[in-house]
Amino acid sequence: MKLLRLVSAALFLTTLSTAADYVGSNACKTCHAPVFNQFFRNPHYQSIASGKETPENTGCESCHGPGKAHIEAHGGKATIVAFSEIGPEKTLAACLRCHSQTLSRANIRKSAHTQADVVCTNCHSIHSSKAPRFLLARQEQRDLCYSCHSTVKAQFSMPFKHRVNEGSVQCTDCHNPHGTFAATWGMAGRSHMVDQKEGNEEACLKCHADKRGPFVYEHASVRIDGCQTCHQPHGSTNPRMLTRPTVFTVCLECHNGAGQFGIMNNGVIHLSATHNMADPRYQNCTTCHVRIHGSNADPLFMR
């Protein structure tokens, strides 16, 4: 408790400190030489190099607060903003002091990561990152995400998957770990940080532009509930990352004419009598319904 008070005081002092409390990064070098000598690699070094930033926005003290008291006390975590001590809430606040100024991080306050107390320093290693960009705490982005998301790691180990492990797809192609706006598909539920295209459209369309349409005959489920209606986006034991191993079961679980479902409120249309499901010919729906994502010529998606 005492420590917390001290840390809180240190953070508070950050905002109330006078210019005299800032000693400059060179003073830090005396004791923290290994960090300082490698600091030129760090993007935060730009604040020192520019020479135009105010003391509270320059070098070490821009994140760790004024160093005068720390020096006078001959070190100690209670006299400086030590990120190993201040907890997730204050860590986030400290980083957002500068890094809120990017639209891609605008939703970090309500992101699932923040709610789970996964904040900046859980994923970014400010002083010892080996990643070539973004100061990631792991060399590869996927390893960083896998370190918590073991289920996702298992999904990308499936035979049919997006090629994340192979290096041609990244988690951030579809997700924004800093939070996202509400989805424009499904029921706009919690979006699992699925990032949208620039126009707020589903992330899948970033690459799969041919599924975007508009089509004269839309397959409404694609537009309304999204691609996950039929596909598992991370990986699957089923070909084409479908939710079921055979196509007809994917289709028939919705196309059963039941109740008030569907956009016509009379059930999603079920098969006609010409479809003899005992015949293997009719068990691959997409052999005939080739334009299953949408068609410009046929309401049954047959051309």
Query: What residues numbered 47-76 form the site for another protein, per CB under 8 A?
Result: 48-50
Only one of the segments 18-26, 40-48, 58-66 lies at the binding site for another protein (rule: CB under 8 A); that segment is 40-48
233 lies in the site for another protein, by CB under 8 A: no
Q: Which of 230, 224, 263, 227 minimizes the C-alpha distance to 248?
A: 230
CB neighbour class for 43 (10 Å; exposed up to 12, middle 13-18, buried from 19)? exposed
18: left (phi over 0), alpha (psi -120 to 50) or beta: beta
3-state secondary structure at position 152: helix
9 lies in the site for another protein, by CB under 8 A: no
Q: Min. distance of Cβ 278 from another protein in angstroms? A: 5
Q: Interface residues for another protein in 122-181 (CB under 8 A)?
A: 125, 127-128, 130, 132-133, 137-140, 142-143, 146-147, 150-151, 153-160, 163-169, 181
224 lies in the site for another protein, by CB under 8 A: yes
Q: Min. distance of Cβ 123 from another protein in angstroms? A: 13
Q: Min. distance of Cβ 296 from another protein in angstroms? A: 5
Q: Min. distance of Cβ 110 from another protein in angstroms? A: 4
CB neighbour class for 246 (10 Å; exposed up to 12, middle 13-18, buried from 19)? middle
Which of 46, 54, 72, 73 binds another protein (CB under 8 A)? It is 46
Tokens 């720390």 — which residue? 70
192 lies in the site for another protein, by CB under 8 A: no
Q: Closer CB to another protein, residue 73 or residue 303? A: 303
Beta bridge pairs of residue 231: 242
Q: Min. distance of Cβ 276 from another protein in angstroms? A: 6
Q: Interface residues for another protein in 237-256 (CB under 8 A)?
A: 237-240, 242, 244-249, 252-254, 256
Strands (E) located in the chain: 160-161, 217-218, 235-236, 294-295
- Non-local CB neighbours of 261 within 8 Å, separated by 6+ positions: 254, 267, 268
Q: Closer CB to another protein, residue 125 or residue 233? A: 125
